[in-house]
Structure 1
Amino acid sequence: MTCRPVVDGQRVPPSDQGVTFAVWVEEREEPVGKFSYFDVNPRNRSAEFGYRIAPGMRGRGVGTQMLQTCINRVFQSTTLNKLYGQTAAFNLPSIRLLEKLGFHRDGVLREHHELDGQLHDDCLYSLLRREWQAQSWAEASDH
């Protein structure tokens, strides 16, 4: 799996300001997903993240590998201490993925987003640098 930071399709280095990674697997020409970190708070060394897995690639382990690869890259190349994100409370595959990777459920944002005319809860998850370092899939970092 290849995780390349891109802006407008052009490759850029990861930074403490946030970036979007496009993710490829060797046998496909098109990206299988994307991972972004943004809203970087330098004082607290935290950033929000989000991801999307191509619909045809869901349920194949691509999400697990993609998040592991991208999270390793973020913690290896920045001074961030925390990544946090939210997912719809009804998005059970995403919740299972985040919990499998060691993310902590910090709370619920009640009726936080609208979809098809209905308000839905979001679950807020975070992963600290020390929690990442304790994961069997974490790769060594210079930070």
Structure 2
Amino acid sequence: MSATLPDVLSTRRLVLRPFHRDDATALFGIFSDQQVVRFWSAGAWTEIGQAERMIEEAMLAYRGGGLSRYAITLRATGELIGICNLRGFFEQNRRCELGYALGSAYWGRGYAGEALEALLGHAFEALGMNRIEADIDPRNDASARLLERLGFRQEGFMPERWIVDGEKADTAFYGLLKRYWDERALARSSLAAAG
């Protein structure tokens, strides 16, 4: 992986860009929200330093590779509304892991799907990935539906993988292969041509 800043990705309504230090307040607002972290692998943030550390981790990784963390921002205003990232790169196997979170005020508007569509396309085309993995809490129906709309397939289940704020939580594992992505794109273009 390149040791430079990740490419800026643009969609109709969004811009996915590298994090800056001045994003800490907006990032803290997202991860201090109990609704956002309900099915996350850690509890709600309680201090701005947690946001600063996440941004510092991203900035270090931009220099050294291994993590492509993006701020999801609204194209019209520049407001930071979420994050998405690719991490855990295994270059030999052309595989990585996907993560994402969106501020609860922006749920239900299609922003997460729009952002991840751009990120996954970038991962498969520009970065040459063959496989992208995601793990979610199986109680998170919205996230499961999102992954399935994007072409992910559930591949496994691990009970009590996490303990967050004293609560045991399971993991559902999902995988997306480049060929699934290509088949999905072909099916969508065929539907568009027929319509």
Identity across aligned pairs (percent)?
Answer: 26
Show structure 1 runs of 5+ residues with no match. 139-143
TM-score (structure 2 length as normaliser): 0.62
Please give the secondary structure, in 2, of the residue aligned with 1:79: coil
Higher strand share: 1
For residues 20 and 178 of structure 2, the distance between their equivalents in structure 1, rounded to whole angstroms, comes to 25
Alignment of 1:1-143 (within 5 A): 1-6=14-19, 17-136=66-185
Q: Alpha-carbon deviations, 1:21-58, whole Å to 9, x = none? A: 11222233322221111111112110111001111111
| Structure 1 Cα separation of the partners of residues 139 and 94 of structure 2 | 29
Q: Deviations over 1:82-136 (max 9, x none)?
A: 1101010111110111011110101111111112312111111111111111223
Task: Tell me the amino acid that sits aligned with residue 77 of structure 1.
Answer: A
Q: Secondary structure at the match of 1:136?
A: helix
User: What corresponds to 1:141 in structure 2?
Assistant: none
2:97 is paired with a residue whose SS is: strand
* CA offset digits 1:48-72 (Å, max 9, x no partner): 1100111111111111111101111
Q: CA RMSD in A?
A: 2.5
CA distance in 1, matches of 2:74, 2:183: 26
Which of the two has higher C-alpha Rg? 2
TM-score by length of 1: 0.83
